[in-house]
Structure 1
Amino acid sequence: MLEQLQRLQAHFGVLKNRLEQLSSENASLLKEKDNSDEQHHAQITHKNSIITQKQDEIERLNDVVKNLEDQLKTLNTDATTLADRYGRLEKSCTDLKNRFQEILAERNELRVSKENMLNQQRHANQEIQDLKTERERLVQKNEHAKNKVEAIIQRLSILGTEQDHHAQEIAQLAHPTDANEEV
């Protein structure tokens, strides 16, 4: 039994050593655990502060995104308005271009009409000039004929007066009493 007791004492010694080792290990592990807990707590605190910063940054970025979305809506509205205006301007431009072409066509027609009228006016002026020349010629011819007729009438009147004078002398000789009454 003594042997067993010695063995047991040896086991107890070993167990006691082992218990002391385990106690010192446990104490060092507890210290490590405390250090680790402190580090972990410090990391958690640090991570929480980073998370808070990130959440603040997320909120700020959400505000920026909201502002940008509002700007995008405004820009889309403006783009739609500008597209409508551009469409109207393009249509107006096409209408103006068509109207301009119509005006050019009318102008060309008016030029042709003007040229025709100028030609007609030149022909009319030429005809008027020809008619004036013809009139002057006819007036001169008429004057010449009138002068001839007057000359003929004058000659006839001279002849007629001489014949009338002779006829009166004959009548006086034939009827002397009638002539005295007239006087």
Structure 2
Amino acid sequence: MLEQLQRLQTQIGVLRTRLEKSESDNAALLKDKTHNAEQTHTQINHKNNLITQKQDEIDNLTEQLNSLKGTHSQLNTDATALAERYSRLEKSCTDLKNRFQEILAERNELRLLKEKLQAEQQRTQQDIKNLQSERENLIQKNEHAKGKVEAIIQRLSILGTEQDQHAQEIQQLAHPSDSSEEV
């Protein structure tokens, strides 16, 4: 029994040692648990802060996305309006081009007409010069013929014959203004 008692005491000593070791291990584990819990809590808070930041970023990005969608929609509307205006401008440009071509054609026709009229004017002026020259020639011939007729009349008047009276009558007929002055 004594042996058993000693064995029991030895076993109790071993159990005490184990119990102390277990208690110190348990205290260390509790300390580690508390430390790990604090770290985990800190990490959870950090993660929650990160999640809150990310959620704020998501909200900001969502607002930006909505704003950009509105801008995109407005830009599409503006692009459509600009495309329509460009189409109208292109049509107007084509119309102006056609009108310009018509004006050029009219200008060319007017140039041809002007050149034709200038040529006709030059011919007319030349005809006028020719007619004036011919008129002067006819006036000179008329004056020359008149001079001859007067010379003949003077010769007949000098002769003093009956023919002289006829010559005076002819002269009166040739120069009715002279006879009215005499009267």
Q: Which TM-score applies when normalising by structure 2? A: 0.72
> Structure 2: which 5+ runs fail to align?
167-183
Aligned-residue offset at 1:23: 2.2
Counterpart position of 1:177: none
Highest RCO, 1 vs 2 (Cα 8 Å, sep ≥ 6)? 2
Deviations 1:73-131 (A, max 9, x none): 22222222222222322332232223223212221221121111101000011112212
Counterpart position of 1:168: none
Counterpart position of 1:16: 16
Aligned-residue offset at 1:149: 5.0
- RMSD of Structure 2 on Structure 1 (CA): 2.9
Listed as ranges, the matches of 1:38-53 within 5 Å are 38-53=38-53
Counterpart position of 1:169: none
Counterpart position of 1:137: 137
Give the secondary structure class of the aligned counterpart of 2:104: helix
Counterpart position of 1:121: 121
Counterpart position of 1:176: none
Q: Distance in 1 between matches of 2:164 and 2:102?
A: 86
Aligned-residue offset at 1:26: 1.5
Aligned-residue offset at 1:148: 4.4
Give the greater-gyration-radius structure (CA): 1
Counterpart position of 1:108: 108
Q: Compared with structure 1, are the counterparts of its residues 37 and 20 closer, same or farther at alpha carbon in structure 2 (3 Å cutoff)? A: same
1:81 paired with 2:76, answer no
Q: Compared with structure 1, are the counterparts of its residues 66 and 140 closer, same or farther at alpha carbon in structure 2 (3 Å cutoff)? A: same
Q: Compared with structure 1, are the counterparts of its residues 39 and 163 closer, same or farther at alpha carbon in structure 2 (3 Å cutoff)? A: closer
Q: Distance in 1 between matches of 2:43 and 2:151?
A: 152
Q: Distance in 2 between matches of 1:62 and 1:162?
A: 136
> Structure 1: which 5+ runs fail to align?
165-183
Q: Distance in 2 between matches of 1:163 and 1:44?
A: 161
Letter of the aligned partner of 1:123 in structure 2? R
Letter of the aligned partner of 1:94 in structure 2? T
Letter of the aligned partner of 2:117 in structure 1? M
Q: Compared with structure 1, are the counterparts of its residues 63 and 122 closer, same or farther at alpha carbon in structure 2 (3 Å cutoff)? A: same
Give the secondary structure class of the aligned counterpart of 1:25: helix
Give the secondary structure class of the aligned counterpart of 2:134: helix
Bigger shift: residues 68-77 or 146-155? 146-155
Matched positions, count: 164
Give the secondary structure class of the aligned counterpart of 2:18: helix
